[in-house]
Amino acid sequence: MPSPLLSIHQLAVSFHSETGPINAVRGVDFDLQPGERLAIVGESGSGKSQLMNAMLGLLAGNGKGSGSAIFAGKELIGASERQLNRLRGSDIGMIFQNPMTALNPFLRIGTQLTEVLRQHRNISRRAAREAATAMLERVRIPEPGRRLRQYPHELSGGMRQRVMIAMALICAPKLVIADEPTTALDVTIQTDILQLLGELTTGQSLIFISHDLPLAAGLCDRAAVMYAGRIVELGSIDEIFRQPAHPYTRALLRATPGQPGQQQEALFTIPGQPPDPAALPTGCAFHPRCQAARKQCREQTPVLREISPGHWNDCLIDIDP
């Protein structure tokens, strides 16, 4: 095994609130190899974004990350703002759900693209301009010369997301993190953007965050399923779909339309609600919604176990598929 590009160990995020701590991420472990594409999936509120924010030093003021996230040999948790600034946008490219929050509304697209480059690479204004034009061509924005002179509000949602991808990739990052990059877009545009993202990140490591498991599966090699701030199952896309081991993963798949052998009208919904991270159930956080739950599920703390090479599950009971 080559050494991982990213190694996360016992990463946790807690937010301060007047009514007590909110444990949004509770001890996450995984490695990402160079060139590998990992999906992080789970319902809204499961801690996907805060996990990434902790790594990138982007937590809100009331949040605190702990544990370890080693990227290319450097510890990110507790790193200085200066160190993180140097990484963000250069070795780590980021694409978010809403391009309008990431783009500056007062600056032309061209200025924003060339600034990213000039901040991280020692190149002339002219070379940066040429690179920006080439990058817009790569994300298939027609008339790149004209687009460079425009402001974000002059572009459609899909075009803005292409600009976001261009900004994230312009410094050829080792790792690309895309957090629900198509959730705000029309379904018809979604597919194009995902395909583009897949093509343009060939050979780079990718963390693709989504609440949509099948969508993520189309782009990634492995998936980590998150529930209430923990990874409950981690495995290849094939294992997750064909041999889901955790009752939550199984429930997610049953709740997904278009799975083999499924009747459209019989679409399953997971009973109950995801837990409030300020008041988590004891034991396995999924137990109140789990049809297989037993006494130990309320009492014991789950730990991810490797059930076959590379396939991890933290369910406390062994269930036959």
Positions that interact with ligand ADP (CB under 6 A): 15, 17, 22, 24, 42, 44-50, 60, 62-63, 277
Which residue pairs from 254-261 have beta carbons closer than 8 angstroms and sit at least 24 positions apart in sequence? 256/213, 256/214, 258/214
- From the CB of 179, what's the least distance to Mg ion, in Å? 6
Judge whether 136 and 161 are in contact, CB under 8 Å. no
Using the contact rule CB under 5 A, the part of the chain among 33-41, 47-55, 188-196, 234-242 near Mg ion is 47-55
- From the CB of 171, what's the least distance to ligand ADP, in Å? 25
Nearer to ligand ADP, 110 or 277 (CB): 277
Judge whether 59 and 53 are in contact, CB under 8 Å. yes
Q: What does 165 bind: Mg ion, ligand ADP, none (CB cut-off 5 to 8 Å by kind)? A: none
Taking the chain, what is the end-to-end CA distance rounded to the nearest angstrom?
A: 30
Q: What does 60 bind: ligand ADP, Mg ion, none (CB cut-off 5 to 8 Å by kind)? A: ligand ADP
- From the CB of 256, what's the least distance to ligand ADP, in Å? 17
Using the contact rule CB under 5 A, the part of the chain among 8-16, 43-51, 71-79, 134-142 near Mg ion is 43-51
Nearer to Mg ion, 49 or 249 (CB): 49
Contacts with Mg ion by CB under 5 A: the residue count is: 1
Nearer to ligand ADP, 60 or 266 (CB): 60
Judge whether 286 and 273 are in contact, CB under 8 Å. no
C-alpha torsion angle, residues 233, 227, 173, 146 (rounded to 10): 130
Using the contact rule CB under 5 A, the part of the chain among 45-53, 58-66, 109-117, 244-252 near Mg ion is 45-53
- From the CB of 231, what's the least distance to Mg ion, in Å? 15
- 53 near Mg ion, judged by CB under 5 A: no
Using the contact rule CB under 5 A, the part of the chain among 46-54, 56-64, 184-192, 293-301 near Mg ion is 46-54
- 50 near Mg ion, judged by CB under 5 A: no
The dihedrals phi and psi of 263, each to the nearest 5 degrees, come to -85, 135
Q: What does 15 bind: ligand ADP, Mg ion, none (CB cut-off 5 to 8 Å by kind)? A: ligand ADP
Describe the strand order of the beta sheet including 311-313 as a list of residue ranges. Answer: 92-95, 175-179, 205-210, 37-41, 222-227, 230-236, 311-313, 305-308
- From the CB of 287, what's the least distance to ligand ADP, in Å? 19
- 49 near Mg ion, judged by CB under 5 A: yes
Q: What does 24 bind: Mg ion, ligand ADP, none (CB cut-off 5 to 8 Å by kind)? A: ligand ADP
Query: Where does this chain bind Mg ion (CB under 5 A)?
Result: 49
